[in-house]
Copies of this chain bind each other. A is one copy, B any other.
Amino acid sequence: MLKYSGQTRVLVAVDCIIFGFDGESYKLLLIQRGFAPEKKKWSLMGGFVQPEESVDEAANRILKELTGLENVYMEQLHTFGALARDPVERTIAVAYFALIDIQKYEKQLSKEYHAEWFPFKDMPDLIFDHGQMVEMAKNRLRYKASLHPILFELLPEKFTLPQLQALYEGLYDTTFDKRNFNRKLLSTGLFLKQQDKDKDSSKKGAFFYKLDQSKYLTNFEAFLKFIPNPEKFLIT
């Protein structure tokens, strides 16, 4: 096969910002690098794009390596192409962010990679420009979640309204009026009330809900206003 001549080829890496929510706070899954440079420093899970896979496939492969999960919500975030972002050799990084149910990932794999979940408030310094990637991913998630039903990817199949509220309040680091919040969420018609209750977190117990999968899939890109006064919270 002919090639383009006289052009320089560069390394292309994929880095994954992996979000989880434990009912209390948002967390990111980070790994401790096992190799130089910056060995032992904390980093996003990443890897180089291989010759026989697309960039999207590389992202899914890398996510699966660390979490064991497939068919997870993942979206391309941004491509980072500064000259010296990797001191070893010029590398262009395509960043993706993923939302996973924190219960589902395989702890075993995490151990192999020396991975840990870090809450937003308590994040270590990251190598290279990974801190910048994380900031951008947080902003993007806040932005998108204010308009689209996306955060449910972080929850297990069954969840309660108080859990849902904690999910939104955690992301925007604020509190919402529960009457208004419940009304708004339920008015989307995306939720199916279940018969059973979650009795773990209160004496009365809170009813479980599930997503109405058919409506969820067709309304996934719907344009809804999930939080009041989004301009107070959003960047970009």
**What is the interface of chain A, defined by CB distance below 8 A to chain B?**
1-4, 7-12, 48-56, 58, 76, 78-83, 88-92, 94, 221-224, 230-231, 234-236
- Chain B: CB-nearest residue to A87: B1
Report the bound CA distance from A80 to B182 in whole Å. 39
Chain copies in the assembly? 2
Q: Is the CB of B223 within 8 A of A234?
A: yes
A7-B11, A12-B12 given as contacts; is B88 within 8 A of A2 (CB)?
yes
| Nearest-Cβ distance from residue A143 to partner chain B, whole angstroms | 9
Q: Is the CB of B82 within 8 A of A94?
A: no
Q: Is the CB of A51 within 8 A of B223?
A: no
Q: Is the CB of B235 within 8 A of A49?
A: no
| Nearest-Cβ distance from residue A95 to partner chain B, whole angstroms | 10
| Nearest-Cβ distance from residue A84 to partner chain B, whole angstroms | 9
- Chain B: CB-nearest residue to A224: B231
Contact partners of A76 in chain B: CB under 8 A: 78-79
| Nearest-Cβ distance from residue A10 to partner chain B, whole angstroms | 5
Contact partners of A88 in chain B: CB under 8 A: 1-4
Contact partners of A49 in chain B: CB under 8 A: 10, 81, 92
Contact partners of A56 in chain B: CB under 8 A: 81
Q: Is the CB of B222 within 8 A of A231?
A: yes
Contact partners of A234 in chain B: CB under 8 A: 221, 223
- Chain B: CB-nearest residue to A52: B83
A4-B48, A76-B79 given as contacts; is B236 within 8 A of A230 (CB)?
no
- Chain B: CB-nearest residue to A37: B2
Identify A79's interface contact among B1, B7, B55, CB under 8 A.
B55
Contact partners of A55 in chain B: CB under 8 A: 79-82, 92
Contact partners of A53 in chain B: CB under 8 A: 83
Report the bound CA distance from A82 to B90 in whole Å. 21
- Residue with the greatest number of chain B CB neighbours at <10 A, chosen from A79, A90, A231: A79
Contact partners of A78 in chain B: CB under 8 A: 76
Q: Which 7 A-B pairs have the closest CB atoms?
A: A55-B81, A9-B9, A223-B231, A79-B79, A8-B51, A3-B89, A7-B48
Q: Is the CB of B83 within 8 A of A54?
A: yes
Q: Is the CB of A92 within 8 A of B12?
A: yes
Report the bound CA distance from A51 to B84 in whole Å. 11
| Nearest-Cβ distance from residue A94 to partner chain B, whole angstroms | 5
